[in-house]
Structure 1
Amino acid sequence: MVKAELVDAAIRAIEKCGDGVSMDDIAAEAGASKPKLYRHFGDRAGLYSAIAARLGSMIWDSAQSTLFADTEGSSVDDLFQSSIAAYVGLVDDHPVLFRFLMTNHMFDGAQSADGNAAEQLRSVMDIVSGEFARSLRRVGADESLVTLAVASILGAGVSATRWWIDQGRSGSVSRSLFATHILETSWGIIDGAAASVGVRFRRDVPFGDPDFARPLAGL
């Protein structure tokens, strides 16, 4: 409980101070001493990992309530739209926190802490990619590009998120327009990868629909 409260305080300090936040700022926000922070987290990196894990749990909870919710009959596009809208909502609610973690390389996969933001994004994408891989196997298509497509979507999404936080969010790119951009960019990558192995995915049907993946030769 104490560690959770310290992470809460650290997030508040980050949202007040931005990338320049110090351990002194965090300790002051928590009403605790720096030795107490080090006792619970080991060092600055340990605290940052705990903060990334908190955001990771928020991302996972968001996916559970949208992408992985019991929405029988929902089209793949509907699931994508709802999950991306929820993700963009998190970014819009916590832009300083997202930027802080990106600046500290907590979104590039370099950190090994279980459950951090990058890890949870990959976990979500791995589950989704499994659905695409199964559909490709069902029609006898090569599934080797699925991993590449996932990496491309994650890379493009993180880069776009940082740009939106730094420039677009306060400018002419609204929350809904940004969500639409992420959606269409993701589908562009998926469609390109599918076409390269002779398949087309239908966005307007559920994952389990027999027509979700269709050989281009049969269209």
Structure 2
Amino acid sequence: MTGKERREQLLDIGRTLFAERGLDGTSVEEIAAAAGVSKPVVYEHFGGKEGLYAVVVDREFEKLLALVTDSLAEAIHYRGKLEKAALALLEYIEESPDGFRILVRDSHGGTGTGSYASLLSEIAGEVEYVLAQEFDRHEYDDKFAPMYAQMLVGMVALTGQWWLDVRKPKREEVAAHVVNLAWNGLSGLEPRPSLDPRRRRKELERLKKVAAKEEKAAEKVAAKEERAAAKAERAHRKRHPEELNGTQPA
């Protein structure tokens, strides 16, 4: 095994152990034993478990950041950007669960520190830039773009942490629901959200037909109630003709 191959082997083993036990719970002895080498080999390549951990974290950080930022650059429509960014995070979680666990493990939401917190800050900066352009286009105050960027990134990030363990529903469906809330708000949620534009158009057409049908039914009910009220009024007048002449019964 070449030195480069050995280094990659140690990184793979370290990623698995750090994801399971964390930095403090993993020893150089365990890393060396899993790789079938002596401890000096680990020290030779990384200077110790801390050096190995730092490289693992840095790689995962750059990998996920590139996935999300590239997804933001790919789509033209702003809904598409949000869809691709959410899906990129979920794809990373599904394909690199150990890496994601390592990023999340050393981050502290209350203090805003750690690899994951730093990563989210980087992503929020990218989203802020995108939102500022959109705000300007719609004549919104772009000074609120940083706040909205934090909202969007936080929503996707926390959903990703939750999905890491539950893994249901499928990532495309999770991304569709995240975008549904972010794009439409609670008052305008789509009953059957999808990342497929054709399915969304079909669903929108279905909802329009349902709304038209409900409106037509409501009009029929209103007309029926109006006829009933008119009929009751005619019956009342027939029973009390004196009211029409303004006279009172003797």
Range of TM-score over shorter length: 0.5 to 0.7
Q: Are positions 1:9 and 2:13 aligned together?
A: yes
Partner of 2:97: 95
TM-score by length of 1: 0.63
How far apart, CA to CA, are the structure 1 residues paired with 2:31 and 2:183?
Answer: 40
Partner of 1:192: none
How far apart, CA to CA, are the structure 2 residues paired with 1:138 and 1:78?
Answer: 17
Counterpart among 161, 172, 175 of residue 176 in structure 1: 172
% identity of equivalent residues: 23
Q: Are positions 1:110 and 2:113 aligned together?
A: yes
Partner of 2:72: 67
How far apart, CA to CA, are the structure 2 residues paired with 1:106 and 1:28?
Answer: 31
- 5 Å-filtered alignment, 1:114-193, equals 116-137=115-136, 140-166=139-165, 168-169=166-167, 172-187=168-183
Maintained 8 Å contact 1:10/1:30: no
Compute the displacement of 1:140 (Å): 4.7
Maintained 8 Å contact 1:10/1:29: no
Compute the displacement of 1:126 (Å): 1.4
How far apart, CA to CA, are the structure 1 residues paired with 2:146 and 2:95?
Answer: 30
How far apart, CA to CA, are the structure 2 residues paired with 1:38 and 1:106?
Answer: 29
The structure whose Rg is larger is: 2
Structure 1 66/135 Cα, relative in aligned 2: closer, same or farther at 3 Å? closer
Partner of 1:209: none
User: Which digits, 9 at most, give the CA deviation of each residue in 1:46-82, with x for residues without a partner?
Assistant: 433322211122213323553223x5xx322223222
- 5 Å-filtered alignment, 1:39-54, equals 40-41=45-46, 44-54=49-59
Partner SS, residue 142 of structure 2: coil
Structure 1 27/68 Cα, relative in aligned 2: closer, same or farther at 3 Å? farther
Compute the displacement of 1:28 (Å): 2.7
User: Which digits, 9 at most, give the CA deviation of each residue in 1:103-130, with x for residues without a partner?
Assistant: 232888513xxxx554344333312311
Compute the displacement of 1:91 (Å): 0.5
Query: Counterpart of 1:183 in structure 2: which amino acid?
Result: V
Compute the displacement of 1:92 (Å): 0.9
Runs (5+) with no aligned partner, structure 1: 190-203, 205-219
Greater share of residues in helix? 2
How far apart, CA to CA, are the structure 1 residues paired with 2:125 and 2:116?
Answer: 14
TM-score by length of 2: 0.56
User: Which digits, 9 at most, give the CA deviation of each residue in 1:150-179, with x for residues without a partner?
Assistant: 22233333322222122x21xx42222222
Maintained 8 Å contact 1:9/1:26: yes
Q: Are positions 1:56 and 2:61 aligned together?
A: yes
Maintained 8 Å contact 2:69/2:126: no
Root-mean-square deviation (CA, aligned residues, Å) is 3.5
Structure 1 36/165 Cα, relative in aligned 2: closer, same or farther at 3 Å? same
Aligned length: 179
